[in-house]
Amino acid sequence: MTTPLITDQLNTPDSPPWIGYTVKFLFMTNLALSYPLVLYPAMMINENYLFDGWEKSKKRQTLKNLNRLMLTLFITLFTIVLGQKIDKFLAILGALSCTPVAFLCPALFHLKLAARTNTEKNVDIFIICIALGIVVYCTFEGLVTWNEE
């Protein structure tokens, strides 16, 4: 059973219809304007790798624009192919990338740079082990539940 989107639940008989339409329009505007901001770092890394050492010319600019178009099309097609499983893909991606940034890296940096006593080092090692466990568990759980509704 699929649940309706939260924006679909805004139009109720006791609320004015303009509230739902306004929220949907603002959400759509937010997505349309934030997409280039999200894609920009990937484009810059890609372009720095591909076009390093090229002199500025029309050919370089055209190829950079083609590269941006191809990356945008790839992301769009990737999202369409994933379809209803995009939430599960994002969950796995979050487990693999966000958990280390939130838990593993701070403890590791503290261990290498600031931990002086054995207690501090043991706490950092404990947090690192817990973070690795979270990464493995959440990734495994995301992969196991991939085909579930």
pLDDT-based confidence at 38, cuts 50/70/90?
confident
**What's residue 97's pLDDT?**
92
Both ends of the chain: CA-CA distance in Å? 8
Among residues 134, 131, 139, which one has the least CA distance to residue 104? 131
Number of Cβ within 10 Å of residue 131's Cβ equals: 20
CA dihedral 92, 93, 95, 101 (to 10 degrees): 180
The kind and range of the H/E element at 95 are: helix 86-99
pLDDT-based confidence at 115, cuts 50/70/90?
very high
**What's residue 85's pLDDT?**
87
